[in-house]
Amino acid sequence: MSDIFEQVKEVIADVMKLDLSSVEITEETRFVEDLNADSMDQFFLIDGFCEKFDVEISDEDAREIRTVGDVVKQLEK
């Protein structure tokens, strides 16, 4: 797994208050369906990724993010 993926998981765990030892997060994990993220959670997740990786994710790109893998691909651009 990539270093970006591991850092993305850390942001998700922090924002969603998850214990990574008891929750499996893969690149296929969906934010809404699998992690029960609501619209505010999604906003804070995008904000967390931007802060952690020192990048800007446009609103248009953010709307396309559905899975953890989508975030990793976005950050690898």
CA distances from 71 to 8, 12, 41 (A): 8, 11, 14
Catalytic residue (choose from 19, 38, 54, 59) = 38
61 classed as catalytic: no
d(CA 9, CA 12): 5
Question: Which residues have a catalytic role annotated?
Answer: 38
